[in-house]
Every structure is written in C-alpha cells, then in structure tokens.
Structure 1
C-alpha cells in the first residue's frame, strides 16, 4: 500500500524525552529546508545515514532504497547508470542540496557519468574509502559486490594515491542477500565469510576496506576471522566527513534542528521497515515511490573503455 507522500517518518535520532513533543511541534512548523539525499539499493546505506546522524546532526535527510531492483551488485554498468539517473531525477525536485551515493556499486559505475548531469554536489564512496585505506596500510584488501570488484575502482583509486600499495579485491555475491535477510549470525554466513576472506588472508593484508555499505554489519563476523592487527575501513565514515567539508565550503551547512528523516523505497515499505529496525533501533515510517521514467542514453565512451 502506498503511503501519503506528505508523511514524515519517526527519526531514529529522536528518543522519548520530555522535550520530544516540543521538538516534533517545532519540526512540523518549520519551513521546508534543503535536505541531503542518500540512496542505496537497500538497507546498506543506513550505515551512511547513521554516520550522518553522528557527524551532521542538524541536517535533514531524504533516504531512498531501490529495493525493487536489489541487488545492484550483479547489474550491468548501463543498468546502474540508468537507475541512478532515475533516482536523481526524482530526488532533485524533492529539495535536496547534496546527494550521497550510499552504494559502492553506483559510486564505481555511475558517479563520473551523472555528476555532470545534475547541478548539485554528488558524493561517492570510493575515493573517501581509498584515502582512508592508504592512510592505514600498504597491503590492502577490498571486499565488494561482483560489479564493484570487476570495476577495479578501489585498486585504481588506491594505486593513484600510493603506487607502492598492493591491492587485492574479492567479489562477494552472497553477502548482500544474507544481510538483507537478516542472516548475519547464521553459521552459514560465517562459513561464506571465511571463504571470501581466505585469499586476502593468504596475502597477509594489513587493511580491509568494506567495498559495500552493507558490510559493516558483518564486522563482528570479520573480527572473529581476521587478526586484530588488520584495520577495518568503513567508507561511510569518511564520505560523511567529506560531505561535512563540502557543505562548509559551500556555505550550506545547516544549523537549525533537523526535520524528521523521510524514508522512501521502490519496493515494499513494510519489508524495508522491518529490515531497518536492527540498523536504526526503531521502526521507520516508509513511503513507496514510483520513480520517473528517464529516457535511456548511450554510455559515454570513457565509461565503456
């Protein structure tokens, strides 16, 4: 069932306090303010959302999950670019001042193409994650979706920053479906993680980059498999730091209290709300959105080389 598009979800930053009613009344009376738009294929982007709550608590946020077309990691570049265009064509009229691709696959395959098509800052995860990895080690492993791994996005970014760094990438097709089904603590998930991490352990990596925003939820599993000396890099932390710097530089960082976060999906609102609870600590109000149809364009030459 499609929800009223004017409704706003409860915000996980809000806690039951004596001032909660006053805060809600203020937010309801406040004029509409420009938001930060975040999008992912599913719940993985909530890692970026949580980091935004921590680092930029005054920013109002629009979160979109393209759950009807999840997972992105097995899609072609042409499909990913088309999906991202459709999402941004919907998001921009909603009043966003910045977009964050909370999806490594989109960041790797579509960011450079769509940045020139929209008149607002669009941030991706690859460069912030690569910078953090280079600052921590020289034998770097990246676990990612098959599409992100095949793109070599992390290897290229890391090697450009430090030509002496060694980089190994592993595509992990089973992780996202397992996380989306909340099977994080299943023995099978641990078995799969051991299989994916084995070639990286053989290379004696000193740093592991989460090349998918879903993967931080598996950190407890990874810590039982990898030595404590391996640094775990979550690009979500670093892309939000970059977003804060960009907002400050442009003079558009918010100082008023945030409006409640708006959650939207292309698939089932009820299913997304249920899966979001472990990430948010509450059940969000979720709207179903029909994305606009955008005419498919040929890939730029540089995107297919």
Structure 2
C-alpha cells in the first residue's frame, strides 16, 4: 500500500505518463527483512519490469532505496530513482532539527542522517523505528484507537528532542498522516518524500528526453500476493476498484516469468 502515495503524486504531476505499479504484497513488510532478502526481491521485480518493458523505475519504498538502490543501479541499464535523497533535500529546506520515522531497516541503514547531513552538516537528525506502522496500514487498522496510542508512543521521543520537521521515512506513513497530525504540535512541519521524488522523476524524464508524446495508458496494477485483497484495501485511497494482476515473484527473474502473469 505504501507505493500508492507515490503513485498518486506521479499521476498528478505527470499526467501524460503511463504507469505500471507493482506491490510486493507477498513479502511485506520489508522493514524487518535483511539486506540480502530485500536486494533479491528488488532484482526479481526489476527483471520482470524491464521485460514489460519500462523506461524508468521509481523505487517507491524507503527500505529498498536504502538497502538496494546502488546495487541495482549498477546492474540495470534504465534510470532508477530512489526516494531518500529527494526527501532529505526537502527536509533540510524545512527545518534544522529533523525527525525521521521509518522502518527498522531504514533506520539501521543511517541513510537519512547521511543524506541530510551531506546537504547540511549543521542539521540535527533524530530517528525512530516504527515497525508496527506498516502492518497497521496493510491490515486496515488506521482508525482504531490503539493506532493513535502506538503513533503517540513513537513520536514522543522525537518531540522530546524538540524537532521542527518530521520526515515520513516510509511511503506507507502518509496513510497515517491524519493520526500523526493529531499527535504533532502545529509548528512541526511534515515532509512527504513522495512529492519530491515525483519532481525528480519529472526533471530526469526531461533531461533524458524520455517524456511521453502520446496519450497516457491506464495504470496497470500488479501484486505478488492476493489481488482481491489489494484491490479492496486500495479502494479507499485510489477512489476506484482497480483491476489487479498477480505475478508469481519467485519466477520473476526467469524468462518464463512473462507467462507467470495471471489476469484476475
């Protein structure tokens, strides 16, 4: 569900482009997995995507951007954009005491502190791992009272540090923005990296002269898990019930993967 926050921004800012959306629902959440596992998943997904084909890949996941981006950029001959650097640059423009909420894997990678301090060495960065957030969203528990308590628990240490800016260091987390704003003081600004990776994609397409000169096609949705479950849960954010196709992820890296796509 996390990548839907990025897809929404892409569709708004790049209305002439066509999108292929892949959600690795069979292996979510990534945030508690090892780097080797995540790299393997990303390689398989990109092998399948490039067979479609695609002209650019946008890694709409902070964890995979932190742990796999450099490796797959060296292995694939299409532009691949990660979400962390655009988010870090935006955060530095917003404040000087920056809180980052992210998955345990993204926090452990130190990717956000490194990216933020590369832009501004004087910025202070405070991180908080929030392993419960993704399962709460994926299981449609956003509006439960317990969710507000969990969000408060994780934001409290950052507020104790006097943050003036909060970065959504996971693409799922904007789905919790209504709950998060209940906990944040009004003066604390939020940064959704989805907005800024979209701007970066727009600039990259123009620079590489890859802009679409024809009418955009309907977005196609693919998942590695249950298509019906994804369609039903995504309705509240997409505003319509998408047609979702299933891909068998373990076979994605093989030439036979194209035949593994099953229309649901």
TM-score relative to the length of structure 1: 0.82
Q: CA deviation at 1:215?
A: 0.4
Which residue matches 1:49? 7
Q: CA deviation at 1:224?
A: 1.0
Q: 2:178 & 2:22 partners in 1: Cα distance?
A: 27
Q: 1:275 & 1:144 partners in 2: Cα distance?
A: 22
How many residues are aligned here?
A: 253
The reply to whether residue 168 of structure 1 matches residue 96 of structure 2 is no
Match of 1:266 among 224, 228, 242: 224
* Unmatched tracts of structure 1, length 5 or more: 1-42, 296-305
Q: 1:232 & 1:111 partners in 2: Cα distance?
A: 24
Q: 1:276 & 1:282 partners in 2: Cα distance?
A: 8
| C-alpha contact 2:48 2:253 (8 A) present in aligned 1 | no
Q: 1:52 & 1:257 partners in 2: Cα distance?
A: 15
The reply to whether residue 213 of structure 1 matches residue 192 of structure 2 is no
The reply to whether residue 225 of structure 1 matches residue 183 of structure 2 is yes
Q: Alignment partner of 2:55: what SS? A: strand
* Unmatched tracts of structure 2, length 5 or more: 255-264
Superposed, 1:247-266 pairs within 5 Å as 247-266=205-224
Which residue matches 1:82? 40
Q: 1:293 & 1:63 partners in 2: Cα distance?
A: 15
Match of 2:98 among 136, 140, 156: 140
CA RMSD of aligned residues (A): 1.0
Which residue matches 2:201? 243
TM-score relative to the length of structure 2: 0.94
Can you list the C-alpha shifts for 1:58-84, whole angstroms capped at 9, x where unaligned?
A: 100000011111110010001000100
Superposed, 1:117-196 pairs within 5 Å as 117-196=75-154
Q: Alignment partner of 2:136: what SS? A: helix
Q: Which moved more, 1:275-284 or 1:255-264?
A: 255-264
The reply to whether residue 286 of structure 1 matches residue 244 of structure 2 is yes
Which residue matches 1:106? 64
Q: 1:248 & 1:180 partners in 2: Cα distance?
A: 35
Q: Alignment partner of 1:169: what SS? A: strand
Q: CA deviation at 1:255?
A: 3.3
Q: 2:236 & 2:132 partners in 1: Cα distance?
A: 20
Q: CA deviation at 1:293?
A: 5.5
| C-alpha contact 2:45 2:253 (8 A) present in aligned 1 | no
Can you list the C-alpha shifts for 1:221-240, whole angstroms capped at 9, x where unaligned?
A: 11111111111000000001
